[in-house]
């Protein structure tokens, strides 16, 4: 294929360029802006393979395999390439998944190996259905649920990881033949019961539970008699599951006799407490001896600061915990837990007294209440944010951008404790920050604390996640994985790419500085601005400009091919053409620029890069052109093709 030295609008190539300009104008008018990911420069989200129904929690094996709980009672196994076909386990007949209940917590034994050995245990936390095989409401036919912690050994069969059903061991929630459950986790309503599991550095298992109470009206107990073991069902003859001394509604969170509204610290082999726990009463089998912290409403997710725990459980120094507590009417919280703290619920919500519970007059002296001294040191959250008013977050003034400039505030309705970033490919400023999520408002923010775990700064990170319910760090890379609940029902990982590059494409035959990068980070979902110029001045000022990108150099004119007439017009220069007008190019049609103002005044052209993760790290070749309709005394068009720029796209 040959081209004349001075192509005209009447020639085939001239018509193609004019048609391309027209198409670019039409496309710009019809197409809206690309849906960009709302993330700091260099970060992107990438989906992890897998199909889930209402995923609720996840835990990494040391090799990076991910175990994912699904609300109805199944556990899936997935890695970055594929989801295992058989599920690890299916407990749907046992699990009650009405509303806020279900299989919500999972942890893998430290040093996990799926070989049926002593470190093959998988721990599961869920609400038990009152009738096996049926998903009943909280008080249907006067039957009540309760929480249970169970473990199963993992074995490998035919290359797939599955549960050894014969190894089942119930650690908490052992139901006696009479129907009562002395070590149960109370669940007297269909919300905030079982929550989260994490292993500490000392090998202890940390277990978080909600108060199992009604959200409205204020729950002082006495409303669900059939749920307690001093009541016998007239049809079944069985007692209710929960010990009668826990009939105190939301005040269970203040009663160390109850496992509800607490963080527990237990021996993962027995389910018993430790003598090193703050409320140890001389008997490791008692409920108080299991309690690590109290006064929580719905500690749905907690995260541990890596490397902050001792190795010996007798020292009582598991990792420092950041726990997200889901609020009631007004406040969401994240708190630091070292052991023994009372986080105040239901007497406090956020930093404020809760008006519904402050005036309650207990029926007996030992009944927990807000009028007497609370058990343990009452501890305020390190951060609280309001459901309605963005400016009311506490402590005030800590919400800033990465440059430290103050931001107006934020709201949210469902605190998800998030994860502490352990270090890896992310910029070092993110090391040890808590990546804090809010389920209802679908955001992630980073929380920086000092050596005393006091707030230094809260910064926005992304609003591109959808209904996050768990955040975990990959054990090998440190990359954070986010579990998105219904309707997304997926896992996304947060990746960071080194800054992208913009370089002159070395084999271009056109004059230097005919194409320059004027601004914008060359990343997916962003706009990059280039400038088209003719420093030789061989086009008339006012000539039109355009820009094109392709994934590869034009196949007809590869790198090094010199085409007569496609340098700057009037000089019979030899110039290389990379412009790709074919469908499937990175930018399918050239982008129209403004009028060229003469030598030394490059005409800026903004190019929107598609928001396609598949383009990250790819090289794109950029080239501009100047079309001069006045060339030759108005008889034709002089076409000047610029040098090329090679762009490596970041996130």
Which pLDDT value is given to residue 560? 55
| Peptide linkage before 395 cis (omega within 30 of 0) | yes
Residue 391's nearest CA partner among 406, 401, 413 is 406
Is residue 26's pLDDT more than 60?
Answer: no
Question: In the chain, where does the domain assigned CATH 2.120.10.30 lie?
Answer: 43-301+310-496
Matching residue, tokens 């008692």: 286
Residue 612 DSSP code: -
Is residue 20's pLDDT more than 80?
Answer: no
Tell me the sheet residues that pair with 502. Answer: 647
Is residue 588's pLDDT more than 70?
Answer: no
Look at residue 75 and give its three-state secondary structure: strand
Average pLDDT taken over every residue of the chain: 87
Instruction: Report d(CA 251, CA 257) in Å as an integer.
Output: 11
| Res. 641 pLDDT band, cuts 50 70 90 | confident
Least trusted range by pLDDT, from 185-194, 329-338, 449-458, 579-588: 579-588
Which pLDDT value is given to residue 514? 86
Task: Retrieve residue 155's tokens.
Answer: 């074995």
Which pLDDT value is given to residue 30? 29
Handedness of CA 15, 21, 24, 28 (dihedral sign): negative
Which pLDDT value is given to residue 321? 98
Instruction: Report d(CA 176, CA 107) in Å as an integer.
Output: 26
DSSP of 125-187, one letter per residue? EEEEPSBTTB---TTGGG--EEEEEEEEEEEEETTEEEEEEEEEEEEE----TTS--TT-EEE
Matching residue, tokens 């034009």: 554
Look at residue 123 and give its three-state secondary structure: strand
Residue 521's nearest CA partner among 513, 531, 529 is 529
- The CA radius of gyration of the chain, in Å to the nearest whole number, is 31
* pLDDT tens readout for residues 444-478: 999 999 999 999 999 999 999 999 999 999 999 99
For strand 55-60 and strand 66-70, is the pairing parallel, antiparallel, or unpaired?
Answer: antiparallel
* pLDDT tens readout for residues 153-164: 999 999 999 999
Stretch 206-213: mean pLDDT: 97
Which pLDDT value is given to residue 13? 39
Residue 25 DSSP code: H
336-363 per-residue burial string, b: 16 or more CB within 10 A, e: under 16: bbbbbbbbbbbbbbbeeebebbeebebe
Least trusted range by pLDDT, from 175-184, 364-373, 579-588, 605-614: 579-588
Q: What angle do CA 404, 405, 409 make, to 5 degrees?
A: 105
Stretch 127-143: mean pLDDT: 94
Q: CB within 8 A of 387, min separation 6: which ones?
A: 327, 329, 330, 331, 332, 411, 412, 413
Contact 91, 126 (CB under 8 A): yes
Is residue 582's pLDDT more than 80?
Answer: no
Task: Retrieve residue 266's tokens.
Answer: 């237990």
* pLDDT tens readout for residues 32-56: 333 346 888 878 888 999 999 999 9
Stretch 362-390: mean pLDDT: 94
Stretch 370-374: mean pLDDT: 92
Which pLDDT value is given to residue 552? 59
Instruction: Report d(CA 534, CA 640) in Å as an integer.
Output: 8
Which pLDDT value is given to residue 651? 64
Judged on CB neighbours under 10 Å (0-12, 13-18, 19+), 443 is: buried
Residue 251's nearest CA partner among 184, 341, 342, 116 is 342
Instruction: Report d(CA 123, CA 121) in Å as an integer.
Output: 6
Which pLDDT value is given to residue 28? 29
Residue 391 DSSP code: G
Least trusted range by pLDDT, from 175-189, 305-319, 592-606: 592-606
Is residue 22's pLDDT more than 80?
Answer: no
Which is the CATH superfamily of the domain at 43-301+310-496? Answer: TolB, C-terminal domain (2.120.10.30)
CA 432 to chain centre: 16
* pLDDT tens readout for residues 538-560: 888 888 888 877 665 555 555 55
Instruction: Report d(CA 116, CA 135) in Å as an integer.
Output: 31
Residue 610 DSSP code: P
Residue 456 DSSP code: E
Which pLDDT value is given to residue 37? 60
Which pLDDT value is given to residue 579? 60
| Residue ranges with strand state E in 497-580 | 501-504, 515-519, 527-532, 544-550, 563-564, 574-575
Instruction: Report d(CA 474, CA 491) in Å as an integer.
Output: 13
Element (DSSP H or E) covering residue 29: helix 12-30
Task: Retrieve residue 571's tokens.
Answer: 């000089």
Which pLDDT value is given to residue 23? 37
């Amino acid at each position: 294929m040959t081209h004349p030295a001075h192509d005209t609008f009447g020639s085939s190539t001239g018509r193609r360029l004019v048609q391309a300009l027209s198409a670019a104008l039409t496309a710009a008018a019809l197409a809206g802006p690309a849906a960009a990911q709302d993330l700091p420069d260099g970060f992107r989200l990438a989906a992890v393979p897998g199909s889930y129904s209402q995923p609720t929690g996840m835990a990494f094996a040391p090799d990076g395999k991910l175990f994912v709980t699904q609300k109805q009672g199944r556990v899936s196994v997935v890695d970055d390439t594929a989801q295992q076909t058989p599920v690890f386990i299916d407990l749907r007949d046992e699990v009650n998944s009405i509303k806020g209940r279900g299989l919500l917590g999972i942890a893998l034994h430290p040093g996990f190996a799926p070989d049926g050995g002593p470190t093959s245990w998988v721990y599961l936390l869920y609400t038990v259905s009152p009738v096996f095989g049926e998903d009943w409401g909280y008080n249907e036919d006067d039957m009540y649920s309760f929480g249970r912690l169970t473990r199963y050994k993992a074995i490998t069969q035919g290359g797939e990881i599955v549960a050894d059903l014969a190894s089942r061991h119930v650690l908490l929630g052992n139901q006696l033949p009479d129907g009562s459950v002395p070590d149960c986790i109370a669940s007297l309503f269909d919300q905030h019961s079982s929550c989260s599991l994490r292993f500490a550095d000392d090998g202890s298992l940390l277990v978080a539970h909600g108060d199992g109470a009604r959200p409205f009206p204020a729950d002082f107990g006495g409303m669900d008699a059939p749920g307690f073991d001093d009541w016998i069902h007239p049809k079944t003859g069985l007692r209710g599951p929960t010990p009668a001394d826990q009939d105190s509604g939301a005040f269970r969170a203040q009663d160390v006799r109850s496992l509800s509204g607490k963080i527990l610290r237990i021996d993962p082999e027995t389910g018993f407490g430790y003598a090193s726990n703050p409320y140890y009463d001389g008997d490791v089998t008692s409920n108080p001896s299991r309690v690590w912290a109290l006064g929580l409403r719905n500690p749905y997710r907690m995260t541990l600061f890596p490397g902050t725990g001792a190795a010996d459980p007798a020292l009582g120094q598991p990792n420092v915990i950041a726990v997200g507590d889901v609020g009631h009417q007004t406040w969401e919280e994240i708190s630091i837990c070292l052991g023994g703290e009372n986080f105040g619920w239901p007497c406090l919500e956020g930093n404020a007294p809760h008006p519904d519970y402050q005036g309650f007059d207990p029926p007996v002296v030992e009944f927990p209440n807000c009028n007497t001294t609370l058990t343990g040191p009452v501890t305020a959250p390190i951060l609280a944010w309001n459901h309605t008013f963005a400016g009311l977050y506490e402590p005030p003034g800590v919400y800033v951008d990465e440059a430290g400039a103050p931001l107006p505030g934020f709201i949210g309705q469902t605190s998800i404790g998030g994860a502490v970033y352990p270090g890896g490919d992310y910029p070092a400023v993110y090391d040890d920050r808590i990546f804090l999520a809010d389920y209802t408002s679908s955001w992630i923010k980073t929380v920086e604390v000092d050596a005393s775990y006091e707030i230094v700064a809260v910064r926005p990170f992304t609003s591109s996640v959808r209904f996050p319910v768990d955040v975990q760090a990959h054990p090998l890379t440190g990359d954070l994985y986010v579990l998105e609940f219904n309707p997304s029902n997926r896992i996304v990982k947060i990746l960071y790419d080194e800054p992208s590059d913009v370089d002159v494409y070395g084999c271009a035959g056109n004059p230097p500085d005919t194409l320059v990068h004027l601004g914008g980070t060359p990343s997916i979902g962003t706009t990059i601005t280039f400038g088209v110029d003719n420093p030789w001045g061989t086009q008339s000022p006012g000539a039109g400009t355009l820009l094109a990108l392709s994934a590869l150099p034009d196949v007809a004119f590869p790198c090094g091919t010199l085409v007569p007439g496609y340098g700057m017009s009037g000089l019979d220069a030899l110039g290389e053409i990379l412009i790709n007008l074919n469908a499937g190019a990175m930018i399918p049609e050239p982008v129209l620029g403004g009028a060229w103002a003469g030598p030394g005044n490059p005409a800026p052209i903004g190019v929107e890069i598609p928001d396609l993760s598949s383009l990250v790290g790819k090289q794109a070749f950029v080239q501009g052109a100047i079309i001069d309709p006045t060339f030759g005394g108005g008889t034709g068009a002089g076409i000047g093709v610029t040098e090329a720029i090679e762009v490596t796209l970041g996130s």
